[in-house]
Amino acid sequence: MCFGVEMDEETVEKMDEVMKTVLITLDPRIDDYLPILSPFFSKQRKQALQVRKHQIDYIVPFIEKRREALLNPGSDRSAMSFSYLDTLFDLKVEGRKSAPSNSELVTLCSEFLNGGTDTTATALEWGIAQLIENPDIQSKLLDEIKSTVGDRKVDETDIEKLKYLQAVVKELLRRHPPTYFSLTHAATEEAATLGGYDIPTDANLEIYLPGIGDDPKIWSDPEKFDPDRFYLGKEDGDITGVKGVKMMPFGVGRRICPGLGMATVHVHLMLARMVQEFEWSAYPANSKVDFSGKLEFTVVMKNALKATIKPRDSG
């Protein structure tokens, strides 16, 4: 989907390993916020440059393979008709005539892969945790799947019809955004004031995402996991920010996460199938789920989720 070239399982696992190494290397450090301390982190900077070189060396061949397939149609029978990478080759970079360099393409593709896969796995763990803690919501979701889809497996085309599923996922992203902070942006306009604070030009800006999703001035009973707030139309929340910023799990505007589409489709589909095939409950029985989180590029559960899984009665 990203590169438009066929990959065997070993290659996919290697790609995943490269991406995870990059994410770990990108964990925030104090010198990100206090550059004056940078000399004390020379070893970490050197390691980061080595990781970046390995990332470029590994991914560029896939970019070149796709470029060759587009220049010579039919030369690669396994090539897909379209990929995310295709949209980047002719991208116009503001302020220059040339297309993005290979290193820039590596960065853009990595953002797409990390935004659409790492966040998906994290969201699913939080989602199942909430369904375990709220069995009535799990039952209501299963009832919708049965009445809408029947006995066959849920597929991507069903998502639009599963309105309660959409509400569950939207509430999941409100309560558990993929990360604590938005990606860093620079203040490009002249000095401004925000909330009584002076924002100088070129200052790095980050938005604390849970502060929006948990704000009682924006949401009623924000601590409660309640898909009905969306399903029954009591409240509205556009995850893209087009209709107003009440939640922004993937950022907003021109620089919204490019993996949003893939991530949300995967979360909807996989959560539906997991509920369709299995009944999820606490392990040990009657124990409470620990919703403490920790930051590992994405916000993951501090203590890995433990669950009792029982296959649904196919009869």
Cα→Cα distances 254→69, 119, 123, 236, Å: 29, 20, 23, 22
The answer to whether 257 is a known ligand-binding residue is yes
Residue 86 CA to residue 66 CA, distance in Å, equals: 8
Nearest to 307 by CA among 98, 135, 174, 64: 135
Query: Which residues are CB-contacts of 221 (< 8 A; sequence separation ≥ 6)?
Result: none
| CA atoms lying within 13 Å on the CB side of residue 307 | 21
Residue 126 CA to residue 111 CA, distance in Å, equals: 22
Residue 112 CA to residue 273 CA, distance in Å, equals: 24
129 secondary structure, DSSP code: H
Query: Which residues are CB-contacts of 299 (< 8 A; sequence separation ≥ 6)?
Result: 122, 176, 177, 178, 179, 180, 293
Binding residue numbers for heme: 257
Binding residue numbers: 257
